[in-house]
Structure 1
């Protein structure tokens, strides 16, 4: 139990550090700015898609009311009125105006995908037809699926077994959780489809559940803050709705991005999180696997590395392969990576001098490592540290005044 608790605490600490390293607060700020311009176009496009089908007449207003009621804090009545008014005005635009609104909505989706690809360390975003089809599916099929789901839920709610006098015990309680279940479904769909990589649906469901729960808690806490600390009205007056709305959007995107971090890092091997090795050891381990695979005429993937015992997260694997590709040591082929250079003509000195990571100190090295090159590397690093101490052992004052420095160097070199 204690080990499991420590592992859980370490995982959430690791997750929070990744959240900060990925500059998620900055991404949330950029998404807040984009959302401010895209929220009305998104709602307008939704209305346009639903009004095109006679069966969905009047459903758009119900969906809008449901979303604004469940995705804004209880104190957002003024914001609801403004958004409804803006949307009604936008629906009077010409087709050119609607096209401009659609482009604005596309821009928001591009920004969201960039933020998610940064979290998942995706270096190649969607391009061309694939990105257009994804965004078009979200803007066209999304409202239709919402409308169909809303009609089905309305029909189920009207059944006597659910809301009548003979309703099944617990049915009304289940209906009260419908907003939470809708949030879970929405966040799960976002995490599973937006990143340009394969996301396991079970991981997306876990992240969607966390984001939905945090979203509900944030709504309650935000409403409580507005009611108990009304000092913002004394400062901003009638303008107070705008900063509160921006703050709420920013908080919402922080929750969405934190859930994305959870979904991404659920795929990372837990052993690697607990076992922090210097990057040089991982680099040499990767090169050893490439060297062995070259002899057998096989490609190398991240799955092969993990099968060999190197439980690398995807971001570190991308970092290592990016460096090796830059050094023209490996190249990408269909099915993985291959070694494209004879390592007999590439020295260890060149590798260390070009690598962006510092040499590890002996105390940072593990006691043992199941690699044939590790004993020699450990011994070499220990000797290197001793020689470095001998070469630079003179005091800083002697170095700055050039006293007794060269004799120390000559003596140390003569001793070797």
Structure 2
């Protein structure tokens, strides 16, 4: 019975993640990333090889990096594309300073697109500052190739160790999952580091594992299709590798973005986002805003410097999407403000702020609509509604401090 309940929860979560991805337009995002990847492929490899050339320890790895990348990420079609990429990289080595700068700019284009996509999936309300972006991009361009080289060396060591330490029959068994494990770790780093918000490591690992498994299944299925079908070759002839490689790049990014959606959906699922995907009712939005202000009011009295968004999610009933929308409205109305430490602080004096002020800040339509029917009782109904509205305005003048203090 418990196993059935768990399976049902997994199924419902996957349905929620699919709806979330459809709303985000992951198919469109994957297409944009695939096109940008084609433009940035040569610059990225040129920069990676240049970085590895600065470290003698990676001399042997440098020669195998391109081959390993295409063998891992673009099976079957990688040989033809790799031949052309090697020619382009050789030509890139003879570029002038202006040409090298253009390569760096083209490579950064891909990083900008990736960051924008991840921020959209993870509902990031505020992007990084230009200086922070520059530091992140520079770190990716410099440390990325070194980590890939270290991973390639590790794979070689594990393969050699398995050949000498265990029977030859077990060598393929031990070496087979290693590319998938390395791919999953790379995806986990992407999901945790690229969005401009804190992402739980366990969520990043779950999403990365799903993306890596999808990627492995995609490699197998795509390789099987290419070897058994000659449709593209008969249709496009000698240039058949171009649409095939573009399709492969698109599907690869789609698998990665599905993993990112799973990572972003996990905290929303735990907070109850799946219980209602539509807009929150006015009463719920008001209650959630009061919960947020209650937490921040307590922190302000303690002098602790506000609360992070993760703390607010843990101490209120709001889900991720509701929290972002409410904080945007509260920031705009001057009730709260973000700090440089990514915390939220209270900036409004609740001793003089009324409940009506909060309702206006949230743009809540709490008025009763008058009847539009031309009937004898129309005047009576309109009069009753006006009385209710006037009484409501008088009641809503209560101070927020008194409400949160239980008075």
Q: State the TM-score, normalizing by the size of structure 1.
A: 0.79
What does 1:128-143 correspond to in 2, within 5 Å?
128-143=130-145
2:123 corresponds, among 112, 121, 124, to 121
Out of 323, 340, 345, the residue aligned to residue 317 of structure 1 is 323
Aligned twin of 2:378: 409
Do 1:290 and 1:339's aligned partners in 2 also have CA atoms closer than 8 Å?
no
1:346 aligns with 2:356: yes
- Once the two structures are TM-superposed, the CA of residue 412 in structure 1 deviates from its matched residue by 4.5
CA distance, structure 1, for counterparts of residue 297 and residue 159 of structure 2: 65
Question: Taking structure 1 as reference, are residues 240 and 279 closer, same or farther at Cα in structure 2, changes over 3 Å only?
Answer: farther
**Aligned equivalents of 1:166, 1:10: Cα separation in 2:** 43
Name 1:206's counterpart in structure 2: 206
Partner of 1:327: 333
Pairing 1:125-274 to 2, within 5 Å after superposition: 125-159=127-161, 162-164=162-164, 167=167, 170-270=170-270, 272-274=272-274
Kept in 2: contact 1:59–1:147 (CA 8 A)? yes
Cα offsets for 1:115-166 (capped at 9, x unmatched):
111111112222233222221121112212222332343244334xx21386
Cross-structure match for 1:54: 56
Provide the residue aligned with 2:44 in structure 1: 42
TM-score with structure 2 length normalisation? 0.81
Tell me which residue corresponds to 2:20.
18
Would the aligned equivalents of 1:38 and 1:104 in 2 still touch at CA under 8 Å? yes
Which residue in the other structure is 1:28 paired with? 30
Distance in 2 separating the partners of 1:294 and 1:261: 30
Q: Judge conservation of contact 1:40–1:87 (CA < 8 Å) in 2.
A: yes
State the alpha-carbon separation in 1 of the partners of residues 311 and 57 from structure 2: 52
CA separation of 1:178 and 1:293: change in aligned 2, threshold 3 A: closer
Say if 1:300 and 1:338, in contact at 8 Å, map to a contact too. Answer: no
Alpha-carbon separation, structure 1, partners of 2:181 and 2:358: 56
Matched, 1:337 2:345: yes
| Bigger mean CA offset, 320-329 vs 150-159 | 150-159
**CA pair 295-245 structure 1, distance change in 2 beyond 3 A:** closer
Contact 2:313 2:320 in 1 (8 A): no
Q: Secondary structure at the match of 2:212?
A: helix
Any conservation in 2 of the 1:41–1:105 contact (CA below 8 Å)? yes
- What does the per-residue CA deviation read over 1:265-309, in whole Å, with 9 as the maximum and x for residues that have no partner? 222252513533834233211232255457644445545544545
Against the structure 1 CA distance between its residues 260 and 166, is the aligned structure 2 distance closer, same or farther, given a 3 Å change threshold? closer
**Structure 2 CA distance, aligned partners of 1:413 and 1:316?**
34
Unaligned runs of 5+ in 1: 360-380, 395-404
Q: In angstroms, what is the RMSD of aligned CA positions?
A: 2.9
Give the structure 2 partner of residue 63 of structure 1: 65
Residue 102 of structure 1 corresponds to which residue in structure 2? 104
With over 3 angstroms needed to count, the CA separation of the structure-2 counterparts of 1:240 and 1:9, relative to structure 1, is same
CA–CA separation in structure 1 for the residues paired with 2:54 and 2:358: 66
SS at match of 1:336: strand
Contact 1:163–1:172, Cα closer than 8 Å, also in 2: no
Separation of aligned partners in 2, 1:166 and 1:407: 93
Provide the C-alpha distance between the structure 2 equivalents of 1:164 and 1:349, rounded to a whole number of angstroms: 72
User: CA offsets per residue over residues 297-333 of structure 1, 9 Å max, x none?
Assistant: 44455455445451x2323201111123333444445
